[in-house]
Structure 1
Amino acid sequence: MSAQFDQVSVVKKSNIYFDGKCVSHNVIFADGSKKSVGVIFPSSLTFNTGAPETMEIIGGVCKVRLAGASEWQTYAAGQQFNVAANSSFDIETVETVDYVCHFG
């Protein structure tokens, strides 16, 4: 995993979710694909998806429960998990988590 994205456009306005518990910026690549780069502050949240997503954890540790699952999985820096389109996942963080969300 590279530490940076080169030759991209960044949307200046931030995406703020859950009263500021999650903040991200959209990054647009030359081919038109999009990712979001952000942080989730310590919290317990539920995210809904439209497109399929791969959540890449860059820093911190979180517990995740995908829609329909009963078990929680732990993810740390260097790991990722996939979420189906039109689905959801619960995430619990006890420290700030840095992430990249890959859409599609």
Structure 2
Amino acid sequence: MSNVSQQSVTQFEQVSVVKAANVYFDGKVTSRTVLFADGTKKTLGIMLPGEYEFGTDVKELMEIIAGSLEVKLPGNEAWISINGTGEFIVPAHEKFQLRVHQVTDYCCSYL
């Protein structure tokens, strides 16, 4: 797990939101893109129970706001459990796997 913590942030100020949803896995994972004045972006989304594999273009910080899941990070054989809140970092150009057990609310920051 990462020591990077932004979980105390509950609201983003002065942002733009892309209206069109990002929809994956037949609608079981969705998110909205939030754009910041400094050029950075985040996505806020929901994952329904299921098993998923994602790939990254850039380094990502995944903050789990609420839910229950397991994540298998690149280069690791063990699954990491997150119940409630937590976070993990995925390097650029890697794949990671998720087993979502309960509806999970997340924020992804592109680093």
| Both proteins in one fold, TM over 0.5 | yes
Question: What range describes the TM-score normalised by the shorter chain of this pair?
Answer: over 0.9
Q: Is the 8 A contact 2:56 2:91 kept in 1?
A: yes
Q: Does 1:72 align with 2:79?
A: yes
- The offset of 1:68, in angstroms, is 2.1
- The offset of 1:3, in angstroms, is 1.3
Residue pairs, 1:21-100, within 5 angstroms: 21-100=28-107
Q: Deviations over 1:6-36 (max 9, x none)?
A: 1100000000001111000000001010000
Q: Give the aligned partner of residue 15 of structure 1.
A: 22
Normalised by the length of structure 1, the TM-score is 0.96
Q: Which amino acid aligns with 2:71?
A: V
- The offset of 1:41, in angstroms, is 0.4
Q: Which amino acid aligns with 1:48?
A: G
Q: Give the aligned partner of residue 5 of structure 2.
A: none
Give secondary structure in 2 for the equivalent of 1:19: helix
Q: Which amino acid aligns with 1:5?
A: F
Q: Is the 8 A contact 2:60 2:89 kept in 1?
A: yes
- The offset of 1:40, in angstroms, is 0.5
**d(CA) in 1 for partners of 2:76, 2:103:** 24
Give secondary structure in 1 for the equivalent of 2:38: coil
Normalised by the length of structure 2, the TM-score is 0.90
Q: Give the aligned partner of residue 4 of structure 2.
A: none
Structure 2: runs of 5 or more not aligned: 1-7
Q: CA distance change for structure 1 residues 77 and 5 in 2, over 3 Å: closer, same or farther?
A: farther
